[in-house]
Amino acid sequence: MGQGMLIKNGTVITAHRTYEADIKIERGKIAGIGKDLDAQNLEKTIDAAGLWIIPGLIDMHVHFLSPFMGQMGAADFYSGTKAAAFGGVTTILDFTNTDIGQTMLESVKIKEEQAEGKALIDYSFHPRIVEAPQRIIDEIKELVDYGVPTFKMFMTYRRQGIQAHDGILMKVMEEAAKHNALPGVHAENNDIVESLTEEAVEAGETDWHAHARTRPPIAEEEAIQRAVYFAQRIGSPLFIYHVSTKGGAEAIAKAQKQGHPIYAETCPHYLSLTDEILKREDGYKYICSPPMRPKEHIEAMWEGLQKGYLSVTGSDDCNYSSEAKRAPMDVDKDGELIPEFQKVVNGLTGMESRFHVLMAKGVQSGKINMNEFVRITSYNAAKIFGLSAKKGDISIGYDADLVLIDPHKEMKLTYDKLHLDTQYNPWEGLKVKGIPVMTMVRGNPIIEQGQVVVEPGYGRFVRRKLDPSLLRQFGNF
């Protein structure tokens, strides 16, 4: 298995080039790229004539087995990595659930145990930071040395017990700057969200769409600007997760122009869905934070990706089933749900659909080309999150993490075609052309002809190291 393979006659697409070539794989790594490579002594040959070959997608933002607002995320390391692999993903970065009193290393070890024997694809973690006593600050270097150099702090969710207040942000940034670590933030102003939510609840305005009204663009824009300001003053690089607003994206572009290493992600839902979705009867299913926004923000997200000040897309897959989303609410005498947006666990599915949404709304709509698709789905993420020289490119010595795509194959995306048991799909009915037909990790097929063809536990924990010279660049690499 994976000892030697030749993929012949495919169209190789990387972040910078598109060309016809054979790819030779030995011991899980790319060993040769060129015309008419010799298949002698190789175990297997795949004819990829007519297929596109891209680097496996990196989803740098998933939440597996995530306890939140009284519910538990549905995706574990088997079901989650399986769904992700069907969407062309070969590496995921998941968040730990570090709690008060716990060490970050403990939270990483819990995740490693959850993944062991289950994951189909490669993985790593971003520890969540919720407090900053000296023992946590000291752990930043330990974790960098352990191969886990990226962290996430929530600027909101005080009531849910996971907010990192400004003092914590500043301490973490100071330490991160010393040790080549990359702090990241979920940027929403908690005071704005909390006070608007209280007012809405008092006024009895708790329809699903109130979720978006109580988390307005200004809440995100202000929090991004505050985090950027701290990072600039302290001299720390900073990653902004899931940007959803025009103003937020503009603040990031401005900081980059001033020469500061600020990186940012946006997600498939902010590139394709508006807040109108929360007006549907089943709007509770689509409650996530930040919320979806009016149309002009969608356009701004595409512009950010095109111009490069938004560097990556992640799914922010935080998979709660429809049942889990309904669970905290009462029903009326007719059995209809009584909407109370504030009780619904926040989170959207997307790790499998990211491929399809970006292909349909990005490539097919002419907003990006396939090289840009690669850049925003794997190449930039590998550079920013310490996976370069291993993943995110098709180059000699890199892991043979590849996706073979049939560019002519079409599909109507419906819930029953997806592989996670969430009972909903925000992109129901989306027409996609260009479908993954094989996902390969380190030279081994994971998904082939619609089937899982690898044993659970094949996926490995990947130790990461940030490249300080890369962290002085930004935008597109």
Pairing of strands 430-441, 150-154: unpaired
Nearer to ligand DUC, 186 or 464 (CB): 186
Site for Zn ion in 180-219 (CB under 5 A): 186
d(C-alpha 360, C-alpha 444), whole Å = 27
Q: Which one, of 200, 184, 202, lies nearest residue 192 by Cα?
A: 200
d(C-alpha 37, C-alpha 397), whole Å = 16
Nearer to ligand DUC, 68 or 379 (CB): 68
**The binder of Zn ion chosen from 122, 316, 317, 401 (CB under 5 A):** 316
Pairing of strands 18-26, 29-34: antiparallel
Chosen from Zn ion, ligand DUC, none, partner binding at 401 (C-beta under 5 to 8 Å by type): none
Least distance from ligand DUC to the Cβ atom of residue 98, Å: 14
Least distance from ligand DUC to the Cβ atom of residue 212, Å: 12
Chosen from Zn ion, ligand DUC, none, partner binding at 346 (C-beta under 5 to 8 Å by type): ligand DUC
Q: How many C-beta atoms surround the C-beta of residue 113 within 10 A? A: 11
**The binder of ligand DUC chosen from 318, 363, 370, 454 (CB under 6 A):** 318
Helices (H) and strands (E) in the chain, counts: 13, 20
Chosen from Zn ion, ligand DUC, none, partner binding at 214 (C-beta under 5 to 8 Å by type): none
**The binder of ligand DUC chosen from 71, 266, 289, 319 (CB under 6 A):** 289
Nearer to ligand DUC, 236 or 315 (CB): 315
Phi then psi for residue 9, to 5 deg, are 65, 20
Position 183 contacts ligand DUC (CB under 6 A): no
**The binder of ligand DUC chosen from 189, 346, 378, 444 (CB under 6 A):** 346
Chosen from Zn ion, ligand DUC, none, partner binding at 471 (C-beta under 5 to 8 Å by type): none
- Single-letter amino acid, residue 215: R
Position 347 contacts ligand DUC (CB under 6 A): yes
Q: How many C-beta atoms surround the C-beta of residue 207 within 10 A? A: 16
Burial class (CB in 10 A: 0-12, 13-18, 19+), 263: buried
Least distance from Zn ion to the Cβ atom of residue 431, Å: 28
Per the CB < 8 A criterion, the answer to whether 377 and 358 are in contact is yes
Nearer to ligand DUC, 144 or 238 (CB): 238
Position 224 contacts ligand DUC (CB under 6 A): no
- Joined together, the tokens standing for residue 358 give 């970006």
Q: What's the Cα-to-Cα distance from 261 to each of 184, 232, 252, 378, rounded to whole Å?
A: 12, 9, 10, 19
Nearer to ligand DUC, 97 or 476 (CB): 97
d(C-alpha 86, C-alpha 74), whole Å = 17
Task: Give the count of residues interacting with ligand DUC (CB under 6 A).
Answer: 7
Q: Tell me which residue has its CB nearest to Zn ion.
A: 186
Site for ligand DUC in 229-268 (CB under 6 A): none
* Chain residues that interact with ligand DUC, rule: CB under 6 A: 68, 186, 288-289, 318, 346-347
